[in-house]
Amino acid sequence: MNNKIGQFGVIILVTCLLMSGCWKKPYAHKVINPGDAEYAQVESMIESLRKSTPQDIAAKQDVSDMPKERMEMLLYCLESISKADSVRLTDVDSFGPQIYRASMELESAKKGKSTLTMLLLKTDDEKLLWLGPN
């Protein structure tokens, strides 16, 4: 699969299996600390999103082959991040070399506090991409 997001369905399936404990082999779960490069990259992604639009971010990621429903959910989540009054990254962890999970606390005067957890894909060039909600 040449397209970075074209692996989306397979990656989500594998992630679900890993996280549900249905996988025979142990997986490499790792907590990413605030001083780590991946943590800083997620913070940068959040900041970029808050300065841009969800559509711009999705276009830069080349999500053209993502199913419509998943695209809509991704855009909804990215919009929630971009429109929140404040966003605080609370946790980042990985499940193997490519799948990452980022949890954020969103706060809005209209909606109050909420938590959003997103899955991310690490590409071959070490870049993280938004995949969708966890």
| Boundaries of domain holding 81 | 5-17+27-133
Is there a domain that residue 22 lies in? no
Is there a domain that residue 88 lies in? yes
Token pair listed for 110: 């209209």
Reported as a single tens digit per residue, the pLDDT across 11-21 is 665 665 555 55
Instruction: State percent of the chain over pLDDT 70.
Output: 79
Would you tell me the crossing angle of helices 68-83 and 37-51 to the nearest 10 degrees? 90
Amino acid, single-letter form, for residue 119: L
DSSP 30-74: EEEPTTSHHHHHHHHHHHHHHHS-HHHHHHHTT-TTS-HHHHHHH
pLDDT at 27 over 70: no
- Tell me whether residue 46 is exposed, middle or buried, using C-beta atoms within 10 angstroms of its C-beta: 0 to 12, 13 to 18, 19 or more: buried
- Structurally, the chain folds into a number of domains equal to 1
Reported as a single tens digit per residue, the pLDDT across 72-121 is 999 999 999 999 999 999 999 999 899 999 999 999 998 899 999 999 99
Is there a domain that residue 54 lies in? yes
- Predicted TM-score (pTM) of this structure: 0.78
Is there a domain that residue 52 lies in? yes
Is there a domain that residue 80 lies in? yes
Is there a domain that residue 87 lies in? yes
Is there a domain that residue 34 lies in? yes
CATH number at residue 31: 3.10.450
